[in-house]
């Protein structure tokens, strides 16, 4: 349905290969499936401190969608960068009837994404493409909204990825994304062990993104700081893994469950110490 000159990008930098290997590891996939809910893989927005991770994660999608709802409807096309299991793409297509081009590095995620779209009867609206944020196989000005939840932390060339995202946005279109960041540069040494599990070398900062958005000519760039939700999210993940450790050891290797039990509390700790930031960015291309 969506016109793409190339449906598969094979030449990706080494870091993309490392990211793909991380997400395609059986234990990692089983963790995202069993503990995050298998639909969304991003930080949740919590109405209650003890609500399920999957419910809060879905609220993040609805909250981000509210920011761009005026641009969306059956006439519109969204590009979801780093679409993962496809939770955002399905929510947007179901809520607005819009078309979604969903691009992700991982063919394993993409297979699972396509299967879920077909089960939900949304495969006519969503096209899933294998590729990298740094080399988008789309023509300039193609999309009404470019969307990306929790992906840019994995990207080495963030300037390049943002510039590509803006290139494919139509005049008047909106860019909305979230990321886990450090408050300033350089990041505190204490955050490195937390990020190590994800293969993230250096987090960005909110100022970096706001500067980039302005340099790329976007208007009204806004950062909604929701760092408190990051602390709640990792505390909830930690509680879940502790409570379900015995059951999880049947689905995930015991060594990986032990790694999680060591790693997840680090996130809560460094977030509560003010060493991380999380939130949503929203900016628009001027209409002319």
Return residues touching ligand SAM (CB under 6 A): 16, 19, 23, 40-42, 82-84, 87-88, 103-106, 109, 132-133, 149-151, 154-155
CB of 201 to ligand SAM, least distance (A): 13
Minimum separation from the CB atom of position 78 to ligand SAM (A): 12
Nearer to ligand SAM, 148 or 232 (CB): 148
CB of 68 to ligand SAM, least distance (A): 15
**Cβ closer to ligand SAM: 106 or 271?**
106
∠ Cα 151 24 194 (to 5°):
55
Q: Which lies closer to ligand SAM via its Cβ, residue 157 or residue 269?
A: 157
| Strand-strand pairing, 143-149 and 77-81 | parallel
- Give the C-alpha separation, 240 to 116, whole Å: 25
**Residue 103 Cβ, how far from ligand SAM at the closest point, in Å?**
6
Least separation in angstroms between CB 277 and ligand SAM: 16
Angstrom distances, CA of residue 266 to CA of 38, 149, 234, 242, 263: 23, 22, 9, 14, 5
For the purposes of burial, counting CB atoms within 10 Å of the CB of 188, is it exposed (0-12), middle (13-18) or buried (19 or more)? Answer: middle
Measured from the CB atom, is 105 or 194 closer to ligand SAM? Answer: 105
CB closer to ligand SAM out of 149 and 204: 149
Q: Which is nearer to ligand SAM, 90 or 99 (CB)?
A: 90
Select the residue whose beta carbon is closest to ligand SAM and give its number: 84
Residue 226: C-alpha distances to residues 116, 181, 230, 281 (Å): 29, 11, 7, 11
What tokens appear for 58 in the block? Answer: 């879905």
Cβ–Cβ under 8 Å, residues 191 and 275: yes
Q: Residue 73 burial (CB < 10 Å; 0-12/13-18/19+)?
A: exposed
């Amino acid at each position: 349905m969506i016109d793409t000159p190339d449906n598969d990008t094979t030449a990706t930098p080494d870091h993309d290969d490392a990211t793909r290997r991380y997400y395609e590891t059986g234990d990692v996939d089983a963790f995202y499936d069993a503990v995050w809910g298998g639909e969304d893989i991003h930080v949740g927005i919590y109405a209650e401190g003890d609500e399920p991770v999957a419910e809060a994660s879905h609220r993040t999608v609805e909250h981000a969608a509210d920011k761009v709802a005026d641009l969306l409807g059956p006439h519109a096309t969204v590009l979801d960068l780093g679409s993962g299991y496809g939770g955002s793409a399905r929510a947007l297509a179901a809520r607005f009837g819009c078309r979604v081009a969903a691009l992700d590095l991982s063919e394993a995620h993409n297979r699972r994404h396509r299967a879920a779209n077909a089960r939900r009867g949304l495969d006519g609206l969503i096209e899933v493409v294998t590729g990298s944020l740094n080399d988008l196989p789309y023509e300039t000005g193609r999309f009404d909204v470019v969307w990306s939840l929790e992906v840019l932390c994995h990207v080495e060339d963030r300037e390049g990825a943002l510039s590509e995202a803006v290139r494919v946005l139509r005049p008047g279109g909106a860019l909305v994304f979230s990321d886990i960041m450090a408050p300033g540069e350089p990041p505190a040494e204490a955050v490195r062990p937390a990020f190590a599990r994800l293969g993230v070398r250096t987090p960005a900062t909110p100022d970096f993104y706001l500067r980039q958005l302005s340099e790329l000519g976007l208007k009204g760039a806004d950062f909604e700081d929701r760092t408190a939700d990051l602390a709640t999210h990792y505390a909830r993940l930690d509680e879940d893994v502790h409570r379900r450790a015995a059951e999880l050891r049947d689905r995930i290797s015991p060594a990986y469950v032990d790694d999680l039990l060591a790693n997840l509390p680090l996130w809560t700790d460094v977030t509560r110490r003010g060493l991380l930031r999380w939130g949503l960015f929203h900016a628009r291309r001027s209409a002319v």
